[in-house]
Chains A and B, each alone.
Chain A
Amino acid sequence: SQQGEEDPQALSIQEGENATMNCSYKTSINNLQWYRQNSGRGLVHLILIRSNEREKHSGRLRVTLDTSKKSSSLLITASRAADTASYFCATDFGNEKLTFGTGTRLTIIP
């Protein structure tokens, strides 16, 4: 399967701390995307990083991509209670589809 694997599966941190989650994949990609899903809702796009990029920032989000290791990480700085959600990476192989990872469930403790 080309599905990405995310790690950890679940993460609980105190509000204000940084949260880091990782994604690994198996074959070459065009881009990698991160999405957030609040409980019982649809997914919301957070950030896209292309295969020729190594790092990207958006607000409190920082994404890195290491194509040699076929891995990406998402860092959320200064976490807030509203960041509690599941986070998914999705890989784009250039074939009109995305392949989603298994997700990391993030809980921010107030």
Chain B
Amino acid sequence: SQTIHQWPATLVQPVGSPLSLECTVEGTSNPNLYWYRQAAGRGLQLLFYSVGIGQISSEVPQNLSASRPQDRQFILSSKKLLLSDSGFYLCAWRGQGETQYFGPGTRLLVL
């Protein structure tokens, strides 16, 4: 069966520090991969998605970047965090069907 992992679960970082969040999927090949951000009590904002290795589509211009170095690995990065980068970051994958499957999320607090 397929599983999706995200780490870390919680992260507190100072303004101006770098960021790296990792997402990996097991049990499937060539999935679509997605990064979302959710502000407190709000809906999901799609940040990046990828349909294959090295293929990244950016949805919102911002302080973040994404990379897909391996088929089932998706990384969200920043060189210098801003206060506004705080939020709940969710990774998701999609296979042959239309359903997306979400990871447990990373709560990021930038101070």
Partner of B104, one of A31, A42, A96: A42
Q: In the complex, what distance in Å separates the CA atom of A73 from the CA atom of B32?
A: 28
Q: In the complex, what distance in Å separates the CA atom of A30 from the CA atom of B98?
A: 10
Say yes or no for A100: interface residue by CB 8 A criterion.
yes
How many residue-residue contacts, CB under 8 A, span A and B?
Answer: 53
Binds B, one of A43-51, A56-64, A74-82: A43-51
Chain A proximity mask over B27-45: 1 for CB below 8 Å, otherwise 0: 0000010101000011110
Given the known inter-chain contacts A43-B90, A48-B99, please indicate yes or no for A88 contacting B44, CB distance below 8 A: yes
Which A residue sits closest to B9, measured CB to CB? A40
Chain B proximity mask over A94-108: 1 for CB below 8 Å, otherwise 0: 001111111101000
Say yes or no for A71: interface residue by CB 8 A criterion.
no
Q: Are A45 and B42 in contact (CB under 8 A)?
A: no
Chain A residues with Cβ below 8 Å from B103 are 42
Which applies to chain A's interface (DSSP): helix, strand, loop or mixed? strand
Size bracket of the A interface: 20 to 34
Q: In the complex, what distance in Å separates the CA atom of A98 from the CA atom of B39?
A: 18
Which A residue sits closest to B94, measured CB to CB? A96
Q: In the complex, what distance in Å separates the CA atom of A105 from the CA atom of B60?
A: 26
Say yes or no for A67: interface residue by CB 8 A criterion.
no
Q: In the complex, what distance in Å separates the CA atom of A42 from the CA atom of B43?
A: 12
Q: Are A101 and B90 in contact (CB under 8 A)?
A: no
Q: In the complex, what distance in Å separates the CA atom of A40 from the CA atom of B43?
A: 13
Apart from the given pairs A100-B43, A100-B46, 4 other A-B contacts in the complex at a CB distance below 8 Å: A43-B90, A96-B94, A97-B46, A105-B41
Could you name 11 residue pairs across A and B whose Cβ atoms are closer than 8 Å?
A35-B102, A40-B88, A40-B105, A41-B105, A42-B105, A43-B102, A44-B102, A96-B32, A97-B34, A100-B44, A103-B43
8 A-B pairs with least C-beta separation: A42-B102, A100-B44, A102-B43, A43-B102, A45-B99, A100-B43, A42-B104, A42-B105
